[in-house]
Amino acid sequence: MNYTPPLEIASSNHTKITASVIWLHGLGADGYDFAPIVEKLGLDHIKFILPHAPEMAVTRNGGYIMPAWYDLYGLTGNSQEDENGIKVSQQYIHSLIENEINHGIASERIVLAGFSQGGAIALYTATRYPQKLAGLLALSTYLPLKSKLSSEAHPANAGIPILMAHGIVDDVISLDMCKLSLATLQKHHFAVDWREYQMAHSVCIEEISDIRAFLQQVLP
């Protein structure tokens, strides 16, 4: 799989940077999608890594080729899932985490974040990652391969702080589907800070404020 180098946003004063956030975009977008929101956060001690998904044919979209973290067959609770594609993206995110660790950022100072399909990969990867992470931002998303969480979750991140946020009028990933993922996480004793907003499949000003507070809390 070919990956374009991620977009990186960081303060020019590199001595101030003590933490990293790896933030995954949604289906059909790219790493630049969340750059304006990162700039609004104004957190100069954090480096933001915004990777670009590779292009692939997406079954749900009629085989149209677009940036995607895995193939998508449907967005209902019983839709077929692209387990191999999810695991390929998981391994890529592992490489991005390892790169940050190799540059002197401890795993405990790294947050995984993602929106929609990117949030699904963030959720899947963080709950299974073998070293402790600082936190997890899951925005307008769901947990893929839910039935495998009990056997695959790694104890290193059993207590990971999770901010899970969703729009109550989301017509892409339904609120009910997201709540099924929330219930699965809670059943496995993950502590989830759940937020709902009066929005569709998007991000709102109130949510950006909550994201900033969450990152300040887990990456002081």
pLDDT at 78: 76
**H-type helices in 32-82, by residue range?**
35-41
Mind listing the pLDDT tens digit for each residue in 14-73?
A: 678 999 999 999 999 999 999 999 999 999 999 999 999 999 999 988 889 999 999 998
7-218 is classed in which CATH architecture? 3-Layer(aba) Sandwich (3.40)
The amino acid occupying position 171 is: D
pLDDT at 62: 86
Mind listing the pLDDT tens digit for each residue in 74-124?
A: 777 677 899 999 999 999 999 999 999 999 999 999 999 999 999 999 999
pTM for the predicted model, two decimal places: 0.95
| Domain regions of the chain by residue span | 7-218
pLDDT at 27: 95
pLDDT at 11: 81
Residue 202 pLDDT > 90: yes
DSSP per position, 86-103: HHHHHHHHHHHHHHHHHT
pLDDT at 189: 93
Active-site amino acid positions: 116, 170, 201
**CA-wise closest residue to 48 among 6, 4, 101:** 6
| Rounded distance between C-alpha atoms, residue 206 and residue 219, angstroms | 20
Q: Cα-atom radius of gyration of the chain, to the nearest Å?
A: 16
Mind listing the pLDDT tens digit for each residue in 120-147?
A: 999 999 999 999 999 999 999 999 999 9
